[in-house]
Structure 1
Amino acid sequence: MEENLRKKIGIIGAGSWGIALAYVLSENGHDVTIWSRSEASVQKLRTYRENEDKLPGVKLKDSVKFTCNMEEAVSGKEILALVIPSAHMRETVKLMVPYMPKDDEDQPVIVNCTKGIEESSLMVMSDVILDELPGSKVCVLSGPSHAEEVGKAMPTTIVVGAFDKDTAKLVQNVFMNDFFRVYISSDMLGIEIGAALKNVIALAAGIADGYGLGDNAKAALITRGIAEMARLGVAMGGKYETFSGLSGIGDLVVTCASMHSRNRRAGILIGQGKSMDEAMAEVKMVVEGVYSAKAAYALSRKYEIEMPLVQAVNEILFDGRKPGEVIQELMIRDRKIENTSLDW
């Protein structure tokens, strides 16, 4: 790689997705530093060059650096990729603030790689970042992209959303290679709503699988799920077309269908009769759909959007309702027209 194309990149978060993106970026020839809050995790990463617990078998190059010092992770970087659980986004960005450049020209591009909605504020992650770092250059990277496959250099296609085209094209060029294809979009909000809500729908898909429903139910659930996502996203200001793209139907299909999906795996356990806490403990990874479910339901009420699947997930997760009861209620809801644009 030519010297002027090589970027200094800080990855904030050393979970499976953070490691997978570090693999992509280091393969592309960039100077990569990964931050973890845990000194023990950093020591293991330095020793074994992989996250043996969350992404075993994906070895990172010797050039990749690891640190639990936020100043080292942030200072002098041209791009910062935030890859942390949504519930910890705000507190982590607060840790970054003292080390961000004061001069606007020196500000790094911040790539939000986290899918979720903050429950207390109902903000998507890019808005949480901007709330703590006003005026920063924020964009979002999302799409159907299991870390397990990206870390094996299996073909993957995602989308970068940004407020301006130059930022989107910069991030596209930095991340894209012959196994990691990147599209660009101006619809940041639509991308983030799709990314967060698909995790909630994937929980529903998993519950259906665990309860023993068939392919007919799964197909209907995915189809009605994308309808709910699009209705809310458009009401909030997103573009309808975004939900038929990579961060909408693309991400929803892969999350509802794959056993790589921690949301689907947790849902399967819940459908089999385990509690939410038992399911999360067994999956042993962050289940973002659990954190986004309440926020999604609150947004549906705020914007007066009917989202029966999201409501059903909330009732099962937080109200102690049995999956069978909720499934039956969904099936006997009032009769509806599928396409409300029909002229009769």
Structure 2
Amino acid sequence: MPQPRYREDLVRAEILALAGSQPLNRSQIAARLGLGAATVSDHTRRLIELGFMRELPPQVSGPGRPRVPLEVVADAAHTLGLRVHPDHLVGVVMRLDGSEVRRFKLPFSPADDPVDQLASACEPVLEDSRVRAVGLALPGLIDPFAGTVRLSPRLGWTDLPLLPLLAARLPVPVLIDNDTRASTTAELLFGAGREHDDFLVLAIGDGVGMGIVLGRRVHRGPDGVAGEFGHVPIGPGGPTCVCGRRGCLDAYVADYALAAEARARGLTSTQVPDLVRLAAEDAPGIRDLLAETGAILGRAVAGVANVLAVRAMTVIGESHVLWPYLAPGFHSVSDDGILPGLDIAVRPWDDSGHALGAASLVLAASVVS
């Protein structure tokens, strides 16, 4: 299918996300999103025409015109999000209000034909005509504008024009982006964005990523590769990163780096669940390791937060369960480096998180409507 140029237009998506939690009238929507009444009226009229919203009976309270609440018709359209992992795919079908219809998991081999595997995963889902578009969330340097995977060490791909190839196989629009930025879009629509216009999303797991929201827009940079926080240099001559360089933040904080350091210190831990269990038991050395790692992470985050003047951050990713043990070290340095402080929320996380982000990405890019 011919693809629209990547164009993020969040207004309709934000209206759907905001009114999806409870019916709101146009004035309430305008006040929360900082939009003019005419803009809200134009967008809600279009959403009603599409069948995505409907008017409820007017509410009369005092003098003046009655307020007309608007309700999201959540099942009027769905989006499909896929998270691409080095050994599996996770798919989530999402309603217009951000709720999940269903999820699935399939094996995946990046060394085999990725287009055929991805198309085969999507095609049965697209038999439901309510699924209007597909979003893909991938690790690495992703150019969402060109639809190219510029570099993904974990998948072993370089300069792969994934979107054009996949779009030729599917009958609906397709978008791709870095997995952390995709999840940052979900956080803007359905999470921290309901309270903050500017915030960070810190993703910790098999890598370290950062999503940046400024003025209610996800920052991607001119070539779409902003947010590679894990490759910020921390120390010359430090551990080797998966990118091949030494001393990247990833090489200190990512789960493979923590496991390697635990082994180097003679601690019997190779997986994040082991670290959580041993930290909870206060096994010798584990809490010290995690506090030191948290301090490294805190110094790096403090620099970004100070430069961008953001005051909120959400922690996501497979290693979010380590946060109680990373936090003491993190706060020991970040609280001294950030004024007047950073409001931190930790989101429950599982393997479907980035897939839900990919589904949100499609909703935010106006390819559904």
If each structure's helix is expressed as a fraction of its own residues, which one has the higher value?
1
TM-score (norm: length of structure 2):
0.31
Between Structure 1 and Structure 2, whose CA radius of gyration is higher?
Answer: 2
If each structure's strand is expressed as a fraction of its own residues, which one has the higher value?
2
> Which protein has greater RCO, CA pairs closer than 8 Å, 6+ apart?
2
